[in-house]
Amino acid sequence: MHTEENCRFAKTHEWAHMEGDIATVGISNHAQEEISDIVFVDLPKVGQQVTAGQNCCVIESVKSASEIYAPVSGEVVEVNTALANDPALVNREPHGNGWLFKIKMTAPAEYENLLDLNAYKVTIQK
Amino acid sequence: MNDTPLQKTPLCAACEKAGAKLVDFHGWLLPVQFEGIIAEHKAVREAAGMFDVSHMGQIFVEGKDAWAFLQYINCNNIKNEPGAGVYSHILTEKGTIIDDAISFCLTPEKFLVVVNAACIAEDFAWFEKQASHFEVAVRNESAQWGMIAVQGPKALEQVTKLLPQAQELARFHIAEISLFGVDGYLTRTGYTGEDGVEIMLPNAYMEPLWNALLEQGVKPCGLGARDVLRLEAGYLLNGADADQTRTPYEAACGWVVKLAKENFVGKDALTAQKAQGVQEKLTGFVLKSPGVPRAGCKVFVGAEEKGVLTSGTYSPLFKGIAVGYLAADAAVPGTEVEIEIHGKRAKAEVVKTPFYKNRV
């Protein structure tokens, strides 16, 4: 199970949790607090190729749209369909049931370049 | 980047203490939200919420010609009847919208005009310029006054505990009040589509007022909820839905134009436009699929681009809603359109506004 402690983070506030060659992706607790009141998640399509650092998903709050960047490269193999009926799951459980999508990684080394929780916490304190 | 420090309202510290997330709004540091936009929206639709609207402007017009002057610079008929207020547009000679404001008659020779924050300087300069042919003095007291809007079905009940006269105040009317030993104004107005009032006091007395309402359980609400509420209620946001390129007819506010009036700034241009009809009209849209329409999104009818959104949001009551300027031939309720959101077309329908049928 993915938790804040066993994830890696992108500076753009996405987290990734690796199991084998599959990375589950979501947004950090800090990010969901900043975005607040999430009302719609425009998820990528299963089968879509994504590249680390590129926009592949949009999270809509009442106030604004936030682009979500793929933390690692690969193919989207699953999306969190529960978000269609309950997008606020991302607010309530950003590290649990509020995950966004899963990527079958083509360059697992990219995962190692992501920040651990402590390093990520330093970036959001700035 | 603009390095001018942000202006703060007298309630800035109180808002921060209440958990506000503060943002830059046209040069003002203002609360965008407290608990959250959805919770605050619910409080105003179902109970009572309060907004710090101290950034809004207060311009006093005094003198023998005060009413005649306001009649001349407004396209609507201003009431010359103590206590009565009228919503109107202030226009250029071309008939385009400088600001939308409410003019309240205090006495036949003294009026208070409450204007939008972003327009204070321009309105005041325009008033002074136009005033030269009238026996009036125009005073901008915006910096001295604070203002709280208390809105919702329970707003009157809450405010009556502090100001018993709130109960008898008629819609769009003003009363002179005394609270905490100082004089101020109470108006039965708002920008949410709910019943409610707005209370003006000198800056130093705003915190006690905020705290008293807070203690009574009135929920602090921010600009985020205010924008959803006003859009649901079909109110214009000046600077977004209306500006100096648009007339009241184009902004779907023909009801504020009284062409039968003897004379007012912009009358000739509006008379001509009324005869010719408008090319584009501010139109309401409801999205028929999940997603959130925003200002700037293009509107298509079939393959043809026919308009652009000026305001859009997620409404807890109606989901994706928006207004925007659409070619007049397409601005017919029931028309199927597509709105381009993040590069993808989403189906939407032209609807009559307001989205929310106000109880007021």
CATH 3.30.1360.120 residue ranges for chain B: 7-53+143-232
Q: What is the mean pLDDT of residues B10-15?
A: 98
Write the residue in A36, A60, A84 that is nearest to B292 by C-beta. Answer: A60
**Closest by Cα among B117, B116, B118, B102 to B70:** B102
Question: Residue B360 burial (CB < 10 Å; 0-12/13-18/19+)?
Answer: middle
3-state SS assignment for residue B354 = coil
Q: How far apart are CA B213 and CA B54, in angstroms?
A: 16
CA distances from A53 to A57, A60, A70, A99, B195 (A): 12, 19, 5, 18, 48
The mean of the pLDDT values for chain B is 97
Strands (E), B257-359: 280-287, 298-301, 304-315, 319-327, 336-341, 344-351
**Could you tell me if B136 and B63 are in contact, meaning their C-beta atoms sit under 8 angstroms apart?**
yes
Write the residue in A36, A40, A63 that is nearest to B290 by C-beta. Answer: A40
Q: What is the pLDDT of residues B281-315, one digit of tens each?
A: 999 999 999 999 999 999 999 999 999 999 999 99
Chain A residues in contact with B289 (beta carbon < 8 A):
none
Q: Indicate if the pLDDT at residue B256 is higher than 60.
A: yes
**CA-nearest residue of chain B to A39?**
B314
Cβ of A40 and B314 within 8 Å?
yes
Six token digits for residue A79: 């999306």
Q: Write down the pLDDT at residue B4.
A: 78
Chain A residues in contact with B294 (beta carbon < 8 A):
65
Cβ of A62 and B37 within 8 Å?
yes
Q: How far apart are CA B121 and CA A80, in angstroms?
A: 50
What separation, in Å, do the N-terminal and C-terminal C-alpha atoms of chain A show? Answer: 29
Chain B residues in contact with A37 (beta carbon < 8 A):
36-38
Q: How far apart are CA B294 and CA B313, in angstroms?
A: 6
Question: Residue B96 burial (CB < 10 Å; 0-12/13-18/19+)?
Answer: buried
Q: Write down the pLDDT at residue B360.
A: 59
> What parts of chain A have a pLDDT lower than 50?
none
Q: Measure in Å the smallest separation between the Cα of B210 and chain A Cα atoms.
A: 25
Residue pairs spanning A and B at CB distance below 8 A: 36
Q: Indicate if the pLDDT at residue B158 is higher than 60.
A: yes
The CATH number of A8-106 is 2.40.50.100
Residue carrying the six token digits 């205010």: B226
pLDDT grade for B17, boundaries at 50, 70 and 90: very high
CATH 2.40.30.110 residue ranges for chain B: 279-351
CA B275 to chain centre: 28
Q: What is the mean pLDDT of residues B73-78?
A: 98
Six token digits for residue A26: 């979501």
Six token digits for residue B178: 């005394």
pLDDT grade for B64, boundaries at 50, 70 and 90: very high
Q: Write down the pLDDT at residue B2.
A: 57
Q: What is the pLDDT of residues B228-249, one digit of tens each?
A: 999 999 999 999 999 999 999 9
pLDDT > 70 fraction of chain B, expressed in percent and rounded: 99
Say yes or no: A62 contacts chain B, CB-CB below 8 A: yes
Q: What is the pLDDT of residues B144-155, one digit of tens each?
A: 999 999 999 999
Say yes or no: B314 contacts chain A, CB-CB below 8 A: yes
Say yes or no: B258 contacts chain A, CB-CB below 8 A: no
C-alpha torsion sign, points A15, A20, A21, A22 = negative
Q: Write down the pLDDT at residue B358.
A: 74
Say yes or no: B343 contacts chain A, CB-CB below 8 A: no
CATH 3.30.70.1400 residue ranges for chain B: 57-140
Q: What is the pLDDT of residues B134-144, one digit of tens each?
A: 999 999 999 99
The pTM for the full model equals 0.95
For residues B358 and A13, which has the higher predicted lDDT (pLDDT)?
A13
pLDDT grade for B165, boundaries at 50, 70 and 90: very high
Say yes or no: B172 contacts chain A, CB-CB below 8 A: no
Q: Measure in Å the smallest separation between the Cα of B47 and chain A Cα atoms.
A: 20
Chain B residues in contact with A32 (beta carbon < 8 A):
none
Q: Top-level CATH class of B7-53+143-232?
A: alpha beta
ipTM over 0.90: no
Write the residue in A40, A62, A65 that is nearest to B38 by C-beta. Answer: A62
Q: What is the mean pLDDT of residues B26-53?
A: 97
Q: Write down the pLDDT at residue B90.
A: 98
Say yes or no: A78 contacts chain B, CB-CB below 8 A: no
Q: What is the mean pLDDT of residues B179-208?
A: 98
Q: Measure in Å the smallest separation between the Cα of B36 and chain A Cα atoms.
A: 7
Chain A residues in contact with B291 (beta carbon < 8 A):
40, 42, 60
Mention every residue, 6+ apart, whose C-beta is less than 8 A from residue A31: A13, A14, A66, A94
**CA-nearest residue of chain B to A66?**
B342
Six token digits for residue B329: 């031939």
Q: What is the pLDDT of residues A50-67, one digit of tens each?
A: 999 999 999 999 999 999
Residue carrying the six token digits 């928006």: B322
Q: Write down the pLDDT at residue A75.
A: 98
Say yes or no: A82 contacts chain B, CB-CB below 8 A: no
3-state SS assignment for residue B276 = helix
Chain A residues in contact with B292 (beta carbon < 8 A):
39-40, 60, 62, 65
Q: How far apart are CA A101 and CA A16, in angstroms?
A: 10
Give the residue from B227, B292, B315, B345 with the most A CB atoms within 10 Å of its CB, the best one to mutate: B292
- Would you give the DSSP letter of residue A57? E
The CATH number of B57-140 is 3.30.70.1400
Say yes or no: A84 contacts chain B, CB-CB below 8 A: yes
Q: Write down the pLDDT at residue B3.
A: 67
Residue carrying the six token digits 């001018």: B4
Q: Write down the pLDDT at residue B359.
A: 61
**CA-nearest residue of chain B to A55?**
B342
Chain B residues in contact with A62 (beta carbon < 8 A):
37-38, 224, 228, 292, 313-314
Q: Indicate if the pLDDT at residue B1 is higher than 70.
A: no
pLDDT grade for B332, boundaries at 50, 70 and 90: very high
Q: Write down the pLDDT at residue A1.
A: 79
Q: Measure in Å the smallest separation between the Cα of B38 and chain A Cα atoms.
A: 7
Q: Top-level CATH class of B279-351?
A: mainly beta
Task: HSE, CB side, 13 Å, CA atoms: give it for residue B73.
Answer: 28
